[in-house]
Structure 1
Amino acid sequence: MKQIPWSSLSARSCRNRRKGCNFAWEQCKLGDVAKITMGQSPNSKNYTDNPKDHILVQGNADMKDGQVHPRIWTTEITKIADKGDLILSVRAPVGDIGKTSYDVVIGRGVAAIKGNEFIFQLLKRMKTVGYWTKYSTGSTFESINSLEINNAVINLPKEHEQNKVGKILSYMDHAITLHEEKKRQLERLKSALLKKMFADKSGYPAVRFEGFGGKWDQCKLGNVGTFRGGFGFPENEQGNIDGIAFYKVSDMNDSCNTLTMRKASNYVTSSQISKNKWKPILNQNIIFAKVGAAVYLERKRKAMGPFLLDNNMMAFQPKDADIDYIYYVFQRLRISKHAQVGTLPSLNASELRNITIYIPSLNEQKAVADLMVSLDHTIILYDFKLELLKKLKSSLLQHMFI
């Protein structure tokens, strides 16, 4: 192996090293330090759905969250990977890496690598920095071959430093996986509560807080609030940073980390409002897209007045009903089902007003809404933590390797 002088290492590469790790890293080829087995696909006639047969890993579709997830089985053994091996995708998407907790048969879309946690994290970093792109650019079908994998140039520290780096990054992966699973569980719980805690055609919810009884009132959406559309914002008046918010559909692109509108890309001044004879919405409303593909995204936000909307959006202001409860009624309704299909899908206020909903007493509305808001805030918290963990992991991948 070629020895790299310690003096040649950049400050960025060195500053995050663990205490006691003062040795230079060595440059080598991946094939020199890890056994690599290229996959070979069995005959498709031998594929089965019988879990008693051999698990087949053909590509990225057979891996999830960095682990092999059995999907297809085979009675024919071609090339194999042992439990604990690393699985590298060699066809589009090239460079994705995972592990297998099983003995598996590997198809031609993957390669098996016998490597430790450090090698696993190093291969993750190579994918992140686009190492494999140079081999597949310009190809009709992205792929890498055995020679390119074996000759991949890597830098390795001493074994004890490999173990320390691998342990830290493995811990980060574990924390990210736990947070992702917790978030999925909360989202499944929310989906179930949206079905069970709101009345169906019988007028009764399947799940109810203690102390509440009786049948919910059936009414039309138009009886519990009013709809209002927006209007075009002149291009030559956009970009102001003072005044009140002028919301557009693009302001709701943060699809998973907020319930309430935080900011707008455009604001309007009092003189603009007066000149255009605009009438701002003064109270808290639920806003959503009414035209275009964004209708199908089903994004809803609560927006505190005063604000204005562009003509691709619509606002709904509840009356004599809890706005948080109505917000979740909207989430449950999937109002995109009521879109008129044409050149562009669109929602019509007159049709939305006639949607049948069920309303309990105001106290029960608040009880249901408080639970749902609390659940959403917890989901948002996990989403925020996940974002921080992934940024930290990305930073560690950048700074803990040469």
Structure 2
Amino acid sequence: MDKEQIGIPKLRFPGFTGAWEQRRLGDYLSIPTKEPITDINELKLMTLKLNLEGITLSANRETLKLGATKYYKRHEGQLLYGKQNFFHGSIALIPKEAEGYATSGDVPALDISNVNSKYLVDYISRPSYFKAKEALATGTGSKRIHEKTLLNFKIAVPSLEEQNAISDFITNYTNLIALHQRKLEHLKQQKNGLLQKMFPKNGESVPDVRFPGFTDPWEQRKLGDQMYIKARIGWQALKKDEYMETGDFYLITGTDIDESRHIVDLSRCFYVSEERYDMDKKIQLQNGDIIVTKDGTIGKVAMVTDLDKPATLNSHLFVLRDLSGHLDKYFLLTILSSDIFKSFVESTKTGSTLTGLPQKTIVKFKFQIPSIQEQRKISTLFKSVDSLIALYQRKLEHLELLKKGLLQQMFV
């Protein structure tokens, strides 16, 4: 094995002092004997996620044919990677439950020895590592990293004891992130359950669950009834080079919507000149307005809050503002961010080539409302749930950023 001392990491566990060594991946990885699948009944397909969360197993042999594409058996503990997707972090260890599953030759497996396998995968899974290897890919069309090329990649390696310590720490940290992810998903499921129980089903006028003291049936309403609905008419000659990095007038676009909290993230916004802001008073925004994307990713919804400067819309959004005085703003936001509105949006696409949500369509959206007092009770409940979801979302994002920073400092 080639050995070359290359320094020490910025962040290190107590008790470890020696310099790390530079090696080749080929010192720890080897190409196994291929085991081609010859019987379709033996074929269980293994696909690899691109987000470093591991492997997804799927047995869909009914749609596969053994022929030009050859499939090979893979075994527990092998390193699996995508030749084309290596640059996106398509790397994982094969778990016990995937023993005997198969992949094509474009997703090869390599045997691992003489190294902590989780340490090795954590090392080469870092974006700063695999992105630096793109220039080594081959092919005139789809660029690929073949096994023999991969084996020549460099890797920095400490003692086995330090490898184990790093691997254990990262595993525990990853498990902590997964725990927060499960809590977040559980909260979202609870919210969906509440939405199903606290809003009437199709054809009914009362929900399954209500606050005490409310018994009146809900009333049906169309979104176009006493609702201010406006959008920018085309671009009005607004050009990309007029989007300013700083300024006094926000230009809010669909990409500024924080979908997890259904708010506008003002830190993402561009700005426009005062002349552009004044051009169309109908789309000048107020706190409490609700915006809905009508082109591109249709149906993203957010409430405008915490405006500290005047704001206007780009051409892909509606602004909605209740004019009746009988509709709570957060209740409307809850309706529009629920599956009730999503189902409506999807139904408008059925059997058509619709690529947008025109005003003549959105005004037809029907939903049911109770009294304003009951709406406010419901809004208060969902505000609390949404705040809790946002809290866990921020915790999760913080943990993921912290992990990314730790990985940068714990490896050479």
Is TM > 0.5 for Structure 1 vs Structure 2? yes
Task: Indicate conservation of the 8 Å contact 1:287/1:316, yes or no.
Answer: yes
**Residues in 1 aligned to 2:192 and 2:200: alpha-carbon distance in whole angstroms:** 14
- The answer for the alignment partner of 1:52 in structure 2 is none
Query: Does the aligned pair in 1 maintain the 2:29–2:110 contact within 8 Å?
Result: no
Say whether the 8 Å CA contact 2:251–2:271 is kept in structure 1: yes
- Conservation of the 8 A alpha-carbon contact between 1:339 and 1:345: no
Is 1:57–1:106's contact at 8 Å kept on the other side of the alignment?
yes
DSSP 3-state at the match of 1:287: strand
Structure 2 counterpart SS, 1:22: coil
CA distance in 1, matches of 2:288, 2:237: 21
Q: What is the deviation of 1:372?
A: 2.2
Q: CA deviation at 1:157?
A: 0.7
Q: Displacement of 1:377 after TM fit?
A: 2.4
Contact 1:224/1:320 (<8 A) preserved: no
Contact 1:86/1:120 (CA < 8 Å) preserved in 2?
no
TM-score for both structures, normalised by structure 1: 0.79
Q: What is the CA distance between 1:17 and its match in structure 2?
A: 1.8
Contact 2:232-2:317 at 8 Å conserved across structures: yes
Out of 270, 289, 299, the position equivalent to 1:285 is 289
In 2, the alpha carbon distance for the partners of 1:179 and 1:45 equals 40
Q: Does 1:29 align with 2:24?
A: yes
Which residue number corresponds to residue 323 of structure 1? 329
**1:376 aligns to what?**
386
CA RMSD of aligned residues (A): 3.5
Q: 1: CA distance between counterparts of 2:280 and 2:51?
A: 54
Distance in 2, matches of 1:284 and 1:126, equals 40
Measure, in 1, the Cα distance between the counterparts of 2:245 and 2:146: 54
Q: Compared with structure 1, are the counterparts of its residues 178 and 313 closer, same or farther at alpha carbon in structure 2 (3 Å cutoff)?
A: same
Task: Indicate the SS of the match to 1:43.
Answer: coil
The CA deviation at 1:352 is: 3.1
The residue aligned with 1:365 is: 375
**Residues 180, 272 of structure 1: alpha-carbon distance in 2 compared, 3 angstrom cutoff:** closer
Contact 2:184 2:393 in 1 (8 A): yes
Counterpart selection for 1:216 from 204, 218, 221: 218
Secondary structure of the corresponding residue to residue 308 of structure 1? strand
Counterpart-to-counterpart distance in 1, 2:210 and 2:14: 57
Structure 2 stretches lacking a partner, 5+ long: none
| 8 Å contact kept, 2:180–2:392 | yes
Q: Which moved more, 1:230-239 or 1:386-395?
A: 230-239
Instruction: Give the deviation of 1:339 after TM superposition.
Output: 5.6
CA distance in 2, matches of 1:98, 1:189: 32
1:327 to partner: Cα distance:
0.7
Counterpart residue type for residue 182 of structure 2: E
Q: 2:358 aligns with which of 347, 350, 362?
A: 347
2:76 corresponds to 1:89: no
Deviations 1:169-203 (A, max 9, x none): 11221122222222222233333333332113211
User: After alignment, is 354-363 or 221-230 more displaced?
Assistant: 221-230
- The DSSP-based 3-state class of the residue aligned with 1:218 is strand
Aligned AA (1:396): L
Q: 1:202 to 1:312 in 2, by over 3 A?
A: same
Secondary structure, in 3 states, of the residue corresponding to 2:326? coil
Matched residue type, 1:336 = V
1:60-79 per-residue CA deviation (whole Å, 9 max, x = no partner) reads: 16x985334432289x9964
Alpha-carbon offset, residue 286 of structure 1: 0.7
Residue 153 of structure 1 pairs with residue 157 of structure 2? no
CA distance in 1, matches of 2:389, 2:403: 21
Aligned equivalent of 2:270: 265
CA distance in structure 1 between the partners assigned to 2:110 and 2:335 by the alignment: 50
Match of 1:101 in 2: 96
Figure out how many residues of one structure are paired with residues of the other and give that number.
379
SS at match of 2:378: helix
- SS of aligned partner of 1:28: strand
- Which aligned pairs between 1:9-158 and structure 2 lie closer than 5 A? 9=7, 13-34=8-29, 36-37=31-32, 40-43=35-38, 45-47=40-42, 56=44, 58-60=46-48, 66-72=53-59, 79-82=73-76, 85-94=77-86, 96-99=90-93, 100-102=95-97, 103-107=99-103, 108=105, 109-114=107-112, 115-125=116-126, 128-130=129-131, 132-158=133-159
Distance, in Å, in 1 between the alignment partners of 2:311 and 2:128 is 44
Alpha-carbon spacing, 1:215–1:98, altered in 2? closer, same or farther (3 Å): same
Q: Normalising by structure 2, what TM-score?
A: 0.78
Name 1:53's counterpart in structure 2.
none
Is contact 1:249-1:312 (8 Å) kept?
Answer: yes
1:305-336 CA distance string (max 9 Å, x none): 75433443221112321100011111231253
